[in-house]
Chain A
Amino acid sequence: MKEIFIILLSSILVNNFVMSRFLGICPFLGVSKKVETAVGMGMAVTFVMTLASIITYFVQKILVALGIDFMQTIAFILVIAALVQFVEMVIQKTSPTLYQALGVYLPLITTNCAVLGVAILNIQSNYNLIQTIFNGFGAAVGFTLSIVLFAGIRERLEIADIPELFKGFPIALITASLMAIAFLGFTGLVK
Chain B
Amino acid sequence: MPNLILNSVASLSAMGLLFGAGLAYASQKFAVEVDPRVEAINEALPGANCGGCGFPGCGGLANAIVNGEAAINACPVGGASVAEKIGEIMGLSADAGEKKVAKVICKGTCNNAKEKSEYYGIKDCRAAAMVSGGSKSCQYGCLGMGTCVNVCQFGAITIKDGIAHIDKDKCVACGKCLEVCPKAVIAWAPYDQEVIIECNSKEFGKDVKTKCAVGCIGCQICVKACPFNAIEFENNLAKIDYSKCTQCMVCVEKCPTKAISGEINNRKKAVVEEESCVGCTICKKNCPVEAIEGELKEKHTVIEDKCIGCGVCIKKCPKKAIKFK
Interface residues of A, Cβ cutoff 8 Å to B: 30-31, 33-34, 37, 40-41, 59, 62-63, 66-68, 71, 74-75, 78-79, 82, 85-86, 89-90, 92-94, 96, 100, 102-105, 108
Stretch at the interface among B46-54, B132-140, B267-275: B46-54
CB–CB B56/A68 < 8 A: no
Given A68-B7, A82-B23, 6 extra CB contacts under 8 A: A62-B11, A66-B11, A86-B22, A93-B31, A105-B56, A105-B57
CB–CB A37/B56 < 8 A: yes
B191 within 8 A of A: no
CB–CB B57/A78 < 8 A: no
Indicate whether A93 sits within 8 Å of B12 (C-beta atoms), given known contacts A37-B56, A103-B57, A104-B59: no
CB–CB A71/B26 < 8 A: no
Indicate whether A89 sits within 8 Å of B11 (C-beta atoms), given known contacts A30-B51, A104-B58: no
Kindly state the interface size class of chain B when it binds its partner: 20 to 34
The residue that B8 contacts in the complex, of A31, A40, A71, A85, with Cβ under 8 A, is A71
User: Which residues of A sit under 8 angstroms from B77, Cβ to Cβ?
Assistant: none
**Bound complex: CA of A75 vs CA of B11, how far in Å?**
9
CB–CB B4/A67 < 8 A: yes
User: Which residues of A sit under 8 angstroms from B54, Cβ to Cβ?
Assistant: 33-34, 37
**Bound complex: CA of A3 vs CA of B204, how far in Å?**
75
**Bound complex: CA of A40 vs CA of B60, how far in Å?**
12
CB–CB A71/B58 < 8 A: no
CB within 8 Å of A: which of B1-39?
A: 4, 7-8, 11-12, 15-16, 19-20, 22-23, 26-27, 29-32
Q: Report which residue of B8, B16, B22, B58 has the largest number of chain A beta carbons within 10 angstroms of its beta carbon.
A: B8
CB within 8 Å of A: which of B49-86?
A: 49-51, 54-60, 63
**Bound complex: CA of A41 vs CA of B59, how far in Å?**
14
Indicate whether A41 sits within 8 Å of B56 (C-beta atoms), given known contacts A66-B11, A108-B49: yes
User: Which residues of B sit under 8 angstroms from A30, Cβ to Cβ?
Assistant: 49-51, 57
| Beta-carbon nearest neighbor of B67 in chain A | A100
**Least CB distance, B20 to chain A, in whole angstroms:** 8
Indicate whether A90 sits within 8 Å of B55 (C-beta atoms), given known contacts A30-B50, A66-B11, A74-B12: no
User: Which residues of A sit under 8 angstroms from B56, Cβ to Cβ?
Assistant: 31, 37, 40-41, 102-105, 108
